Structures are given as C-alpha cells and as structure tokens.
Amino acid sequence: MGLLLKENIEINCIARPKEQVIRDIGKKLCDSGYVEENYIEAMLLREESFSTNIGNGIALPHGVEAAKKTIKKSGIAVMVFPEGTDWGSEKVKLIIAVAGIGEEHLEILSNIAEKLSDIENVIRVINSSVDEIYEILTEK
C-alpha cells in the first residue's frame, strides 16, 4: 500500500463545517488502515491549538505529537472543495490529511508544500480528476 490510495481522493466536495471535514477525511485514513480511529480526535485537537491552513487555499490537517503511536503506516487523504469550505480565517479548496510515521511526517508535509507552493499547481489539482490528482501527488 502506497502513501495515497485513489479511493482516498474525493473531488467535488460540498462545503461543511471544518470539524466535519476533519472527521470525514480522518475516517478515510482510518478505513484504509493508515491510522487507528483515535487519530481523528488528535487531528481535531491539533486544529484547535493551531490552524493547519497553510495558505494558497490549502489545509493540511494532521494529529498532535502524542498521537504518533496511533499511526500504523504513513498515508495521506485528499478532499477537493471547488467552491471552498470555511477554515476559520479563510476558505480552503484543497485539504490533504497527513499521517506520517517518525521523520516521514515532515518529509510528507515538505513534499506537499513544495508541489503546491505555486498557485497554478493548486488550481490544477482543484480542477483535476481523481486519476490526475493521484498522478500529481505521487510523482517524484
């Protein structure tokens, strides 16, 4: 199993409360065996203490440090909100949940940030199919 499964990419999502989005995307990580269920609560805790909105219409929800032991395998899940969804101070369109074991966590975050630092790439992802998003996020 790789870092991203196509079934963990959901496009054309409809706006909903941030907490619900985090629960929904966390469930994808849980259902596909990347994390234990309590990792979802750790993602909500992280969001309460520090927003995971990184700008460019992107949020990268992930669990607090104490939840590292609930990660079975490094993985990500993706939700695309073409119209945006409220993330506190602004709307975000691309949400990528991250669960990384040990140092892989920072590596995954930095890889995503690098690929999506250019707003054109973000727009490309938002307007892509599941297959295209998979290719963009898994290419080396």
What is the total count of domains within the chain? 1
The question of whether 62 is a catalytic residue gets the answer yes
Of the pLDDT bands very low, low, confident and very high (cuts 50, 70, 90), residue 76 is very high
Q: Find the CATH number of the domain harbouring 37.
A: 3.40.930.10
Establish if 1 belongs to a structural domain.
no
Which pLDDT tens digit goes with each residue over 19-73? 999 999 999 999 999 999 999 999 999 999 999 999 999 999 999 888 889 999 9
Amino acid at 4: L
Catalytic residue among 18, 28, 62, 93: 62
Structural domain of 121: 6-138
Instruction: Determine the Cα–Cα distance for residues 93 and 59; give it in Å rounded to an integer.
Output: 8
